[in-house]
């Protein structure tokens, strides 16, 4: 009995230990360490690195790859980050992140701070705590040099003006009545469109305007339409890190180090001396995120209509182009067949995003297309290569004996192809074409890179407006599903009806 009691006691002890271990594991999984949530400064020092988020796409002079050593990053913000990290006794570590999504990534704790031309705007101040500013900029309106009638934003009433999404310039243009705002993701593209006459003006920070826009002989600065500051953004809860970074930045200013950095990058001017005494921005007061409204829903439906139009037109182009490519490869002369094969391999072997960039921006000097036309043409040309493969499979599925029988009855090859082969090949290809249309519907979101505001782009714009991604994302997903589900059902139905059953 005593042995049995000892065994039970030992078993109970093991169970208790196991339970405690399981509880500890659960606590470790679901409970963040105190340093992660409450003392970011201690976490930075314990880790030995100050992780700062930015986007290399912003280019020179912010943060960019060294031209002769691509493994090394340079830029005035790289030097500022290293100076601040050194004062904290740690090492600076850059984290690449899309510029427009820096705030959500900061909130996800992907890095400790934002340092990348991050403007102190009302929208950002609602979610982020700022240190004192480290650079003061102005908003420059650039127009074509030949356009001598524009002297202020009001002169662009009813015309298209480009800028970056999520920037201070965007908020400025959005509040300007009568101006059609066109959003970009890069700093070069708006000036390319301005040169090509697809825009009447561009409003961006003076650093960007002077380095990417006004270096073009065909453009000129028309007016200064606003001003603002860059500062380091942190999570509002990281008060200790905010104070430490603000003190480090103040020390950098007092030691003349910030001025030396800005002078080295030819960015120092009188405005920078004026902001040297500006204090940190108080942490934001917690506010409730804005909700989706009927106005947002109307914009989503408009984006949906653009998505449907682009997808339908591009698919029509792809179906016709794919058939022509397939017939040329199978029945055309050798040089034509070779060119068709080359077309299919090139368009299938390169990303459609790259093709859109080349078509819209790369070929702009010789082929000036508007954004909508370029979107339809780019997607249609890309998908034509895939449709050609589907048609090829359909043509190969038709037994050669049927063609031979038609020819023996006196039909010409063209007539046999039209009456005997193609109807059967198309019957086999139809399910695949329907599936490709569903894929094209979703790939149409890529055309936002050439300024087309379709469904996904509208979702990103609304997410910034309402300061949240969940509700706009769910609405966007629901609309895509409403478009693709009927097509999916149609594709399955076609597969059941049209695909020949194996004997």
Can you give the pLDDT at residue 283?
58
Nearest in space to 209 (alpha carbons), one of 136, 143, 151, 146: 143
Tell me if the bond preceding 486 is cis, omega within 30° of 0: no
Reported confidence tier of residue 16, pLDDT bands at 50, 70, 90: very low
Reported confidence tier of residue 15, pLDDT bands at 50, 70, 90: very low
Spatial distance between the Cα atoms of 492 and 497, rounded to a whole number of angstroms: 9
Phi then psi for residue 130, to 5 deg, are -115, 145
**Are the C-beta atoms of 206 and 139 separated by less than 8 Å?**
yes
Phi then psi for residue 15, to 5 deg, are -65, -45
Nearest in space to 498 (alpha carbons), one of 415, 432, 417: 432
SS3 content of the chain, % helix, strand, coil (to 5): 60, 15, 25
Residue 380 has pLDDT above 50, yes or no: yes
Can you tell me whether residue 364 is helix, strand or coil?
Answer: coil
Instruction: Output DSSP code: residue 280.
Output: P
C-alpha distances out from residue 142 to 162, 183, 199, 292, Å:
10, 15, 10, 34
Can you give the pLDDT at residue 291?
77
Among left, alpha and beta (phi > 0; psi -120 to 50; other), residue 116 is beta
Q: Residue range 221-240: average pLDDT? A: 94
List, in sequence order, every residue forming a beta bridge with 54; answer none if it has no partner.
Answer: 96
Instruction: Output DSSP code: residue 281.
Output: B
Spatial distance between the Cα atoms of 126 and 106, rounded to a whole number of angstroms: 14
The encoded tokens of residue 286 equal 């917690």
Question: Which residues 6+ apart lie within 8 Å of 402 measured at CB?
Answer: 420, 421, 424
Q: Percentage of the chain surpassing pLDDT 90?
A: 59
Q: Residue range 204-212: average pLDDT? A: 95
Residue 43 has pLDDT above 70, yes or no: yes
Nearest in space to 312 (alpha carbons), one of 302, 304, 300: 304
- Bridge-based pairing of strands 64-65 and 73-74 is antiparallel
C-alpha distances out from residue 99 to 54, 118, 119, 296, Å:
6, 9, 11, 23
Can you give the pLDDT at residue 490?
82
Place of tokens 């003190």: 247
Residue 383 has pLDDT above 80, yes or no: yes
What string of DSSP letters covers 88-144? HTSEEEEEE--GGGHHHHHHTTSSSEE-SS-B--HHHHTT-EE-S-SEEEEEEEEEE
**Are the C-beta atoms of 361 and 451 separated by less than 8 Å?**
no
| Higher local confidence (pLDDT), 291 or 371 | 371
State the CB neighbour count (10 A cutoff) for residue 178. 10
**pLDDT tens digits for 305-348?**
999 999 999 999 999 999 999 999 999 999 999 999 999 999 99
- Bridge-based pairing of strands 180-184 and 113-114 is unpaired
Can you give the pLDDT at residue 73?
94
Can you give the pLDDT at residue 280?
57
Can you give the pLDDT at residue 23?
42
Can you give the pLDDT at residue 367?
87
**List of E strands, 11-69:** 49-54, 64-65
**pLDDT tens digits for 454-498?**
999 899 888 877 777 888 999 999 999 999 888 888 877 877 776
Can you give the pLDDT at residue 28?
42
Length of the chain in terms of residues written: 503
Reported confidence tier of residue 82, pLDDT bands at 50, 70, 90: very high
Reported confidence tier of residue 290, pLDDT bands at 50, 70, 90: low
pTM, 2 dp: 0.74
Spatial distance between the Cα atoms of 457 and 463, rounded to a whole number of angstroms: 10
State the CB neighbour count (10 A cutoff) for residue 413. 12
Question: Which residues 6+ apart lie within 8 Å of 345 measured at CB?
Answer: none
Q: Residue range 144-169: average pLDDT? A: 92
**Are the C-beta atoms of 343 and 494 separated by less than 8 Å?**
no
Spatial distance between the Cα atoms of 143 and 202, rounded to a whole number of angstroms: 7
Phi then psi for residue 198, to 5 deg, are -85, -10
- The CA angle 362-363-364, to the nearest 5 degrees, is 95
Place of tokens 């009691």: 5
């Amino acid at each position: 009995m005593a042995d049995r009691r000892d065994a039970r006691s030992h078993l109970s002890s093991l169970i208790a230990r196991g339970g405690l271990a399981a509880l500890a594991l659960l606590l470790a999984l679901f409970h963040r360490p105190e340093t992660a949530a409450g003392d970011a400064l201690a976490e930075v020092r314990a880790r030995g690195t100050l992780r700062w988020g930015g986007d290399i796409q912003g280019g020179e002079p912010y943060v960019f790859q060294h031209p002769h050593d691509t493994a090394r990053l340079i830029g005035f913000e790289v030097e500022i980050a290293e100076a601040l990290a050194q004062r904290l006794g740690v090492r600076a570590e850059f984290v690449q992140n899309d510029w427009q999504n820096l705030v959500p990534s900061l909130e996800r704790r992907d890095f400790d701070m934002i340092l990348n031309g991050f403007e102190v705007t009302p929208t950002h101040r609602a979610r982020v705590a700022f240190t004192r500013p480290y650079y003061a900029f102005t908003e420059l309106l650039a127009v074509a040099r030949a356009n001598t009638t524009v002297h202020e934003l009001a002169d662009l009433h009813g015309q298209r003006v480009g800028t970056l999404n999520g920037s201070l310039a965007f908020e400025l243009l959005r509040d300007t009545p009568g101006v059609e705002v066109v959003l970009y993701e890069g700093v070069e593209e708006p000036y390319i469109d301005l040169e090509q006459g697809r825009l009447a003006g561009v409003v961006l920070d003076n650093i960007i305007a002077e380095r990417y826009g006004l270096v073009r002989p065909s453009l000129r600065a028309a007016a200064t339409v606003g001003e603002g500051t860059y500062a380091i953004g942190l999570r509002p809860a990281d008060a200790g890190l905010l104070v430490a970074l603000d003190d480090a930045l103040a020390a950098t200013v007092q030691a003349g180090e910030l001025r030396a950095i800005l002078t080295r990058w030819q960015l120092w001017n009188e405005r920078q001396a004026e902001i040297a005494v500006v204090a940190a921005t108080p942490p934001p007061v917690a506010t409730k995120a804005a909700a989706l409204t009927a106005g947002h829903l109307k914009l989503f439906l408009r984006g949906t209509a653009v998505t449907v139009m682009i997808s339908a037109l591009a698919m029509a182009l792809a179906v016709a182009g794919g058939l022509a490519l397939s017939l040329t490869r199978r029945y055309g002369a050798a040089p034509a067949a070779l060119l068709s094969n080359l077309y299919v391999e090139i368009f299938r072997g390169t990303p459609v995003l790259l093709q859109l960039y080349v078509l819209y921006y790369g070929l702009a000097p010789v082929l000036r297309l508007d954004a909508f036309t370029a979107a339809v043409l780019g997607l249609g040309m890309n998908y034509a290569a895939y449709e050609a493969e589907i048609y090829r499979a359909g043509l190969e599925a038709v037994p050669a004996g049927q063609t031979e029988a038609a020819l023996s009855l006196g039909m010409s090859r063209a007539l046999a192809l039209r009456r005997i082969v193609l109807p059967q090949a198309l019957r086999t290809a139809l399910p695949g074409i329907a599936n490709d249309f569903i894929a094209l519907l979703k790939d149409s979101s890529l055309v936002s890179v050439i300024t087309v505001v379709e469904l996904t782009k509208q979702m990103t714009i609304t997410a910034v407006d309402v300061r949240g991604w969940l509700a706009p994302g769910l609405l966007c997903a629901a609309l895509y599903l409403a478009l693709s589900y009927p097509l999916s059902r149609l594709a399955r139905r076609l597969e059941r009806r049209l695909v020949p059953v194996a004997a």
